[in-house]
A = this chain, B = another copy of it.
């Protein structure tokens, strides 16, 4: 998607220009991973016009493999952002109906080729919400990944105002999630997507939900979540949690102030987690890396987390001092 954000703290009605970047859940994860030095590719469908080519060019710039991007369809999805401050929230206006991606259909992607040699296949709950073709193409990819032994991760991410094509998430998601090895899922997602109601009296309702999900979807080995407290539009705190079937892991609570750009924080968390699981011996370290990755994202303009392993590890190890590097 093309992201158009008003400059500074301008409101939409004031803006005489928009800053332009290209992003989207899965693309953000791919860019973040590529910046961490991990080979990462992106599969989507862009319109066969100058905007589609510009979107591809940006992904390529940040090191993402773009050979499997398809071209065709009507338009590039767009979303508009204005950044909040103090108690005024940031605001997103989506304009992604009828996008090239919505027109994707099973058979268009050569999943065998795409997934050959991959460690992970990552998707978000946005994709199956866009169109039936997108949902079915995704299902197709998950099946191939499962067959090839490529692990599957998902950011479940329920958005009420998507899902307009006649199916509900509860009809579509179970099949997709059943093929996953790892999911990012909030307590709310558990309810909205799967109808799983965490026990009210539980000490940790999220943990209860996570355990329930694992029962239903035995392939899932890890369920993660982030806990964001919003002091103001400019000041949040962030922590991570994981249920890996054995332990309920949590991280320290990171202050995030002043927020530069919070879009893509969840994608930075996922990218950090996938990196961490492949590079650290313990889930705790992977989770700590994931949260540190997400914290740093809030300091980076644009959707994607343009930071290095070294930068994340500094924060992960407890040094949030941001001391000048010369």
Give Cα A296–Cα B89 distance, bound, in whole angstroms: 10
When chains A and B are docked, how far (Å) is the Cα of A233 from the Cα of B299?
10
| A1-26 interface code vs B (CB 8 A; 1 in, 0 out) | 00010011111111111111100000
Q: Once the chains bind, are A299 and B14 in contact (CB under 8 Å)?
A: no
Cα-based distance from A7 to B57 in the complex (angstroms): 18
The interface residues of chain B lying within 8 Å CB-to-CB of A94 are 326
A277 on interface, CB distance cutoff 8 Å: no
Q: How many copies does the complex hold?
A: 6
Check B86 against A299 for contact (C-beta < 8 Å): yes
Question: Would you give the 0/1 interface string for A227-251, flagging 1 where the beta carbon is closer than 8 Å to chain B?
Answer: 0001111110000000000000000
Residues of B within 8 A of A233 (CB): 299, 321-323
A side interface size, CB within 8 A: 85
Contact with B along A79-118 (1 / 0, CB 8 A): 0101011111111111101100000000000000000000
Cβ of A208 within 8 Å of any chain B Cβ, yes or no, is: no
Please state if B321 and A231 are interface contacts (CB–CB under 8 Å): yes
Q: Which residues of B contact A261 (CB under 8 A)?
A: 9
CB nearest to A298 among chain B residues:
B86
- Residues of A at the B interface (CB closer than 8 Å) are 4, 7-21, 49-51, 53-54, 57-58, 60-63, 74-76, 78, 80, 82, 84-95, 97-98, 159, 161, 230-235, 254-263, 295-296, 298-302, 306-307, 311, 314-315, 319-326
